[in-house]
Structure 1
Amino acid sequence: MTGSRFVHRIFSVAMWWGLLALIPIQFVTADDVVVRTQLDPEKTVSIGERVVLKVDVLGKDAWAQLAESPSVRVPGAIVFKPPGQSTRLNETISGDNYTGQRYEWWIYPQRSGLMSIPEFSLSIQSKVFGAKDQPGPVSKSTAAVEIEVARPDGVSDQLEVLATSSLKATQSWSSDTKTLIVGDGITRTVEREIEKGPSLLLSPLDFANLDGVENFVKQPATDDKINRGELTGSRRDEVTYVFEKAGKVQLPNLQVEWFDTEAQELKTETLQGRTLTIQPSPEVAGAQPSSDSIEAGGTRNHRSGWLFVAGALALVLGGVYFYYGAVRNRWLHYLEARSCSEKTLFKRFVASAGSGDAARTLRDLVRWSDVVQDREPAPRLDSLFVAYGDAGDRQRLSELECAVDDQDVRSAKASFDGAGLIACVKVIRSRIRLRQRESVQVAQSVLPPLRG
């Protein structure tokens, strides 16, 4: 009996070892992962025409996908990462089964010549089907690719052109009146929409400064929508004109130039300005109340006192009636200007960065950047970091943008170094202020001496 139990135990152990031998132990290495890079189209494109960068990641006997979204930067081009544009792949390569994903980036070249897309690193996570313990991510790099970009016929090399198959530009005004008084304001709203391109292609409008008119430009509102693989970008710009002196004011036309890729011709959309008459604020002349005859002893009679009170009350009510609109508008414009001041926007950015919300942080950082670059015709956040920051500052900006763009592959909320970003932006802000002080000192040094 003892011998049979021993044999049975030996047989059980052997059977279990045999079953374990049938279960493959999977190890995924970089050699088991295939990365392919291609462009669509592969040959020459025109400025503004979409170039699709396709990156395939495939795992041998495993499903490969990106562990995190990489930051793609292309000099002289705008890069847009479309959400949800990944495709499942299943192929047989040299007799082995490979499964993975295809990812896309849409690139819009902004200048002619050879456009080079440098290689960038990928962190690839593979999932082995049926395995209890999954392998860790491996690092691979894409291949560098190039494509020739041609400038459309009839378009000068000095002209920055918006190339699209369709552009819609409309405007509206907050009031139809043609007569205002000093201190009043009117808001102009311009909406633009393009097909087959993101809102990043729509550059800021140039609201010219006019004599006696103060401009208050609001932060633009942008939107990107994808319908059946086609991208539509839109941008809404608002400016409030506040009139500071009386006279005739001609609010200028706005011209939007673009190249029609369907008709292959340069077009201009003109948004008409307006001619307004600004009247001076009504002035209330001082008046002395009439009085009856002075009674003996130098005292006024009772009726004269009541007339004086009624006259004073009439003056106060008249002043309120005439000045209420101007005072109210000035107060509202003051509050609006204060909410858009550099100091307020910087505090808002610091609060957003401290909260850890990447999207809100990037939004408030762009708003602050637009204010400190108000003299630039087309202010860009990356240009500010290039002009006043170093490589470390630009890296923190890239990390913030990656945290915002990383939507379709992350399993948790993207994080970034908010404290480090605040520190580097404070340094950039101090450098900007130093540059401004130096500019003022130089301007003062070239002034002619005062006459004695």
Structure 2
Amino acid sequence: MILRSLAFLLFLLTASAGLHAAEPLVRVEILTQPPIAAGQQVQVQVDVLAPNFFLSPPKFPLFDLPNAIVTLPDTGAQNLVETIEGQSYAGIRRTYIVTPQTGGDFTLPPAKITFIYAAVPGQPGSEGSVTLPPQKFRVAGAPPGTPATAQRITVTQKLDRDPENLKGGDTLVRTVTVEALGMQAMMIPVPEFTAPEGVRLYPHDPVLSDKMDQGQGSIGGTRVDRVTYEFEKAGSYRLPAIEISWYDPATQKNEVAEAPEVTVSVAATAGFTPAIKPPEITEEAPKRPDYLRLLPWAAGLAALAFLAWLVPALWRGLRQWRQACRQRYEQSEAYSFRQFSSACRSGEGAPVYAALQSWADRAKTAPLREWLSRGGDSAALAQYERLEARLFAATAATGSYDASELLAGIAQARNKWLARRTERLRPAALPPLNP
């Protein structure tokens, strides 16, 4: 009897140890192979693995690293499913981009990544966290005068019209595009635009964009600069070439990418010919002084000069106002919800989930699970949970979500939320003046 009791107790201890053995894991890998030069992108791949499946996506923080710029590109997370020592794990993979500014040894700080996962399926979620291990990499110091580091930089340009067929007062728009492989857009050197004497230069705001190059396995950046040249008088002009200096770590050489100079020919504007000949002055008519006869012409030229200055200024102001309105709209909650609606039409889980999380962050309704529960939107909550199970479950989900029903449920919950917010912002009625 005693032996049986001991065996049963040993079995319980072993089973209990088995239940608690599966813990979240983290893997870190430096994808960029040495030698690494200062200013070169270093890709740090981080895998977060949790038993069974996630109930919330891991929160990857931006950490500080002395003498380096750390970014987390919004290129989407990669889902993983693995079996480790007989236990099913769901994983999320993200890639940090670390750009060291100097040479030396760099060690990743102990950044903490938090999430909620299903430690025991069918029970409430458990809070989990992992800490980045002290992964190290070495960076070679850059020689003096070394420009920005990239795998490749190209510079191209476009003109909105023929530069050999302009007249005095005309404008020419020059668009210069810098594409850099292995460099984020914000790190691309700013092109320098200059104009010769007699030419006015009007720069526009640059457009920056990043993308992941799957073939090269690195982040590439694009910078588009647009400037307008205004030619005040006739003549021949040379717009200087645009040069971008960069350092190629593969060849360890300084390189220069450029857009060639532009030769511009501006013809004189034809003189003004009145449509009606002024009446001739008779001998009896008093002769006006010469300067009085020139006053109408001077006034007309002044009016034309004022219009030539006013119209471009008004046009630039209108264009900047429209661009500001567009930027405000793209940062609004309504635009974010429109992106979510568009993603639902495709029905693909990952884009729908990403767009929904982006809207929740913009509307400050995250976490969505709690927000939907407080609002009593059970149908939308059920579709949201099916979507999470489909994306983050370690094994295939038993049910499937309906993108159109999810959109309808979230839209209904959003309408109620907007109505409550409008009611809160509505000013209270004034009390009577004579109670």
TM-score norm. by structure 2 comes to 0.57
Of 222, 228, 236, 2:209 maps to: 222
Q: Does the 8 A contact of 1:48 with 1:162 survive in 2?
A: yes
Aligned residues: 318
Give me the whole-angstrom Cα distance separating, in 2, the residues matched to 1:335 and 1:42: 51
Give me the whole-angstrom Cα distance separating, in 1, the residues matched to 2:146 and 2:351: 35
List per-residue Cα deviations over 1:68-109 (Å, max 9, x = no partner): 44232455335343635525252435xx62513151314242
Give me the whole-angstrom Cα distance separating, in 2, the residues matched to 1:204 and 1:274: 19
Q: Which amino acid aligns with 1:226?
A: D
Give me the whole-angstrom Cα distance separating, in 2, the residues matched to 1:30 and 1:350: 50
Q: Which amino acid aligns with 1:335?
A: W
Give me the whole-angstrom Cα distance separating, in 2, the residues matched to 1:262 and 1:183: 48
- Aligned position for 2:389: none
**Once the 2 structures are TM-superposed, how far is the Cα of residue 186 of structure 1 from its aligned partner?**
0.7
Q: Does the 8 A contact of 2:35 with 2:140 survive in 1?
A: yes
User: What residue ranges of structure 1 are gaps of 5+ in the alignment?
Assistant: 1-20, 299-314, 361-405, 420-452
Of 65, 74, 82, 1:90 maps to: 82
SS at match of 2:272: coil
Q: Does the 8 A contact of 1:64 with 1:127 survive in 2?
A: yes
**Once the 2 structures are TM-superposed, how far is the Cα of residue 124 of structure 1 from its aligned partner?**
2.1
Q: Which amino acid aligns with 2:154?
A: K
List per-residue Cα deviations over 1:132-189 (Å, max 9, x = no partner): 334143333323444222245xx42x5441321x332222222233353332111112
- 1:53 and 2:36 are equivalent in the alignment: no
- 1:251 and 2:239 are equivalent in the alignment: yes
List per-residue Cα deviations over 1:345-392 (Å, max 9, x = no partner): 6565555544354699xxxxxxxxxxxxxxxxxxxxxxxxxxxxxxxx
CA, structure 1 residues 410+350, in 2 after alignment: closer, same or farther (shift >3 Å)?
Answer: closer
**Once the 2 structures are TM-superposed, how far is the Cα of residue 273 of structure 1 from its aligned partner?**
1.5
Q: Does the 8 A contact of 1:68 with 1:410 survive in 2?
A: no
- 1:412 and 2:401 are equivalent in the alignment: no
SS at match of 1:83: coil
Give me the whole-angstrom Cα distance separating, in 2, the residues matched to 1:105 and 1:359: 27
Q: Which amino acid aligns with 1:53?
A: V
Q: Does the 8 A contact of 1:117 with 1:145 survive in 2?
A: yes
Q: Does the 8 A contact of 1:172 with 1:189 survive in 2?
A: yes
SS at match of 1:46: coil
RMSD over equivalenced CA pairs, Å: 4.6
Of 240, 264, 278, 1:289 maps to: 278
Give me the whole-angstrom Cα distance separating, in 1, the residues matched to 2:336 and 2:91: 26
5 Å-filtered alignment, 1:285-364, equals 289-291=278-280, 331=311, 334-340=314-320, 349-355=327-333, 357=335
**Once the 2 structures are TM-superposed, how far is the Cα of residue 52 of structure 1 from its aligned partner?**
2.5
Q: Which amino acid aligns with 1:81?
A: P
Give me the whole-angstrom Cα distance separating, in 2, the residues matched to 1:247 and 1:32: 76
User: What residue ranges of structure 2 are gaps of 5+ in the alignment?
Assistant: 1-11, 286-296, 339-349, 365-435
Q: Does the 8 A contact of 1:181 with 1:278 survive in 2?
A: yes
- 1:162 and 2:140 are equivalent in the alignment: no
- Percent identical across equivalent pairs? 16
**Once the 2 structures are TM-superposed, how far is the Cα of residue 279 of structure 1 from its aligned partner?**
4.8
Q: Which one is further off, 256-265 or 73-82?
A: 73-82
- Aligned position for 1:308: none
TM-score norm. by structure 1 comes to 0.56
Give me the whole-angstrom Cα distance separating, in 2, the residues matched to 1:408 and 1:106: 23
